[in-house]
Amino acid sequence: MARTRLYRHGVLEAEGFPVADVSDHVSDPSCAIWFDLCTPSAADLAVISEELGLHELAVEDVLHDRQRPKLDVYDSHLFLTVYGERLDADSGRLTSTEINIFVTRNALVTVRENDSFDIGEVVRRWDSSRDLAKHGVSFLLHGLLDVVVDGHFQVIQALDDQIEQLEDQLFDEELGGREMQRRSFAMRKNLVQFRRAVLPMREVVNSLIRRDLHVVEPAMAPYYQDVYDHVLRVTEWTDSLRDLVGNIRETYLTQQGFRLNNIMKKLTGWAAIIAIPTMITGFYGQNVPYPGAEQPIGFWTSSIVIVVASVGLFLAFRKRDWL
């Protein structure tokens, strides 16, 4: 079901009316209209396109999923693609919702690929800033982008908390190596996916602020600048976390190499200790005459040499922390 709103002279006049009634108000310069479509069909988009004069390439982009976040400028309208991000706290899975936006002189159209994005939060944001509603479409677009960017902040904060937990467990020997690798790989995958949606937002918001587009009214420019600053913070935060996850993986691999070297050092030490009695007993096992052969002194001599050499090597290795 489509959600609709009508502002006249900055005052909310109607909401929940049929999309077919939009044509009655779209030509009135004192009106600002918003309507939202969730998973519309091609026929629905064709009706909207004809009503608002939307470009066929923009409509085609709506029908094809996974567009890059962008801002396209056409003669009669603007077309934006942004992504609402949500991180599931239980599974740790990052979910992206594509939001396509058509911006005309006095109408804002949002098209969502599914209902994962909370459009009700956008409406509440508008209601909490009613004094800005007099700025029309510029006000509506700012509220939408502000909610999207705030969602990005929540996701990056949650990812930061998860990475801090992973750092604390980095030197915990009880955490298995496979589990550590799985979690670090999942975090890096989420960060790459998240960065793909966040990084182009700098260009999108920066382009909206340009004066030659005449989209943002001068009074709304500081609010858009605030959104742009938030986008920059999220982008820089994402890059720093991606580098941090890479450092965690490298530290873990280095730690694994150190543990392996320590194990090999201990095994080599024990092998050297075992080699001494093996060599001595092998020497006395020769089938040729040698000093002390077939005499008690030979047995005691070899036994004493084995014990002294083995204990001497053991103490020498323990002193060097090889055992």
- Residue-level pLDDT at 205: 92
Pairwise pLDDT comparison (183 vs 68), residue with the higher score: 68
State the pTM of this model.
Answer: 0.79
pLDDT > 90: what percent of the chain? 37
- Residue-level pLDDT at 101: 95
pLDDT > 70: what percent of the chain? 92
Reported confidence tier of residue 162, pLDDT bands at 50, 70, 90: confident
pLDDT at position 156 over 90: yes
- Residue-level pLDDT at 176: 60
- Residue-level pLDDT at 292: 63
Reported confidence tier of residue 182, pLDDT bands at 50, 70, 90: confident
Q: Which of 53-57, 277-281, 305-309 has the lowest mean pLDDT?
A: 277-281
Determine the average pLDDT of the residues in 86-107: 89
pLDDT at position 294 over 80: no
Reported confidence tier of residue 135, pLDDT bands at 50, 70, 90: very high
C-beta of residue 275 within 8 angstroms of C-beta of residue 310:
no
Tens digit of pLDDT for each residue in 200-224?
999 999 988 886 777 888 899 999 9
Alpha-carbon distance of 83 to 64, in angstroms, equals: 14
- Residue-level pLDDT at 237: 93
pLDDT at position 177 over 70: no
Reported confidence tier of residue 289, pLDDT bands at 50, 70, 90: low
Instruction: State the Cα angle at 199 between 159 and 68, rounded to 5°.
Output: 110
Determine the average pLDDT of the residues in 169-190: 76
pLDDT at position 287 over 70: no
C-beta of residue 112 within 8 angstroms of C-beta of residue 98:
yes
- Residue-level pLDDT at 306: 79
Determine the average pLDDT of the residues in 239-262: 82
Residue 224: how many other CB atoms lie within 10 Å:
21
Q: Select from 107, 86, 100, 108 the least CA-distant residue to 39.
A: 100
CATH match of 3-255 with 3.40.50.11240? no
Mean pLDDT of the chain: 85
- Residue-level pLDDT at 140: 94
- Residue-level pLDDT at 34: 93
Token duo for residue 130? 């009613």
Pairwise pLDDT comparison (167 vs 136), residue with the higher score: 136
- Residue-level pLDDT at 97: 93
b/e per residue 177-186 (b: at least 16 CB within 10 A): eeebeebbeb
Reported confidence tier of residue 194, pLDDT bands at 50, 70, 90: very high
- Please give the backbone phi and psi of residue 4, each rounded to the nearest 5 degrees, phi first: -135, 155
Pairwise pLDDT comparison (60 vs 255), residue with the higher score: 60
Determine the average pLDDT of the residues in 34-55: 88
